[in-house]
Chain A
Amino acid sequence: ILNVEQSPQSLHVQEGDSTNFTCSFPSSNFYALHWYRWETAKSPEALFVMTLNGDEKKKGRISATLNTKEGYSYLYIKGSQPEDSATYLCAFTNSGGGADGLTFGKGTHLIIQP
């Protein structure tokens, strides 16, 4: 059984502040780590797919890092804006078998306070 853990479960951040949260995953048989942003009543939106140890990706004010040896990824948001309010999900794929369905964490629910 693969377990993906995300922390914190929820987070209140003042507009303009920067924030970060964590995703932990099994380090054995690692293949890829995905980050999604899911706003209420909308489709989950893909942010990043990361595969290499030490990888760092950036999209606007959002960036992510990956450590496959110790099994964690950080997501950073710089200068939070109200539109950043969403649930941020990470998902893991291992190299076992031919299927590539994602194993998700429970998410970090981010609320940006004006």
Chain B
Amino acid sequence: EAGVAQSPRYKIIEKRQSVAFWCNPISGHATLYWYQQILGQGPKLLIQFQNNGVVDDSQLPKDRFSAERLKGVDSTLKIQPAKLEDSAVYLCASSSIGRRVTDTQYFGPGTRLTVL
């Protein structure tokens, strides 16, 4: 079974530029999550989708971050404009059912973003 795919793996941009990350979850997984992991911190949830609807985006900085999950499969996370403090690893995860806290979340390898 293929895992969660993410691209690109690495990205370097200047501050105030825009950037987008892509995630393809495990086939059939209804729930998709985006996490941000800043160096020295644990991953922090940014947004959770159930199919193509948003379940939780309370920690998403909506003035610059946006995410969508068209057709309930792939998802993109965008930052516009980027700030220095956005330098982090962006992790995508998926689970088969969601809304059931014992479901395992399967993670992709992440995108490491450096903002100069």
Contact = CB atoms under 8 A, between A and B. Distances in A.
Interface of A: 4, 31-32, 34, 36, 41-46, 49, 51, 89, 91, 93, 95, 97-107
Contacts of B55: 98-99
Contacts of A44: 43, 91, 107
Given A97-B56, A101-B56, A106-B42, A46 B105 contact: yes
Given A89-B43, A104-B43, A32 B102 contact: yes
16 contacts: A32-B102, A34-B104, A36-B107, A43-B108, A43-B110, A44-B107, A45-B107, A46-B104, A49-B102, A93-B101, A97-B56, A98-B99, A100-B98, A100-B99, A101-B48, A102-B45
Contacts of A91: 42-43
B4 interface: yes
B40 A101 contact: no
Given A49-B104, A99-B56, A101-B56, A43 B42 contact: no
Nearest to A106: B42
